């Protein structure tokens, strides 16, 4: 029975944490896409204003697509730099503190169930 409670607590904590992480990643991607759409819209208006031909406009769109690919590679490099800069000892300490807190909550539950058994 004890392992069931431990897994319940782990599931209780990990599901919302995964949801928050997934939401933050999706929000970042949406923000990047909004910025890209705004840039494309402005470029489109600039092309219409200058009266460029369709062939030149297509070349400009292809260049923007290549620039977007370079931006995505840049984001990947930023993530790698971020991971290299993380102080893993601090994260390990935070993880241990979190597990200690979970076990403390579990102990409070056991104390409550033990006291309830006297009623």
| CA-based end-to-end distance of the chain | 21
**How many Cβ atoms sit within 10 Å of the Cβ of residue 52?**
14
Residue 67 banded pLDDT, cuts 50, 70, 90: low
Query: pLDDT, tens digit, for every residue of 39-61?
Result: 888 888 887 777 655 555 555 55
Q: Which two tokens stand for residue 41?
A: 């819209």
CB 58 within 8 A of CB 44: no
- Here the tokens at position 70 are 């370079």
pLDDT at 63: 64
How far apart are alpha carbons 87 and 91 in whole angstroms?
A: 7
């Amino acid at each position: 029975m004890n392992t069931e409670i431990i897994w319940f607590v782990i599931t209780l904590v990990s599901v919302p944490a995964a949801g928050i992480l997934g939401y933050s990643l999706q929000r970042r991607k949406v923000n990047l896409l909004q910025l890209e759409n705004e840039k494309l819209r402005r470029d489109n208006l600039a092309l219409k204003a200058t009266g460029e031909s369709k062939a030149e406009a297509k070349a400009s769109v292809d260049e923007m697509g290549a620039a977007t690919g370079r931006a995505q590679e840049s984001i990947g490099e930023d993530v790698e730099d971020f991971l290299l800069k993380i102080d893993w000892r601090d994260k390990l300490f935070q993880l241990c503190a979190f597990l200690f807190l979970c076990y403390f909550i579990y102990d409070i539950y056991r104390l409550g169930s033990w006291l309830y058994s006297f009623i």
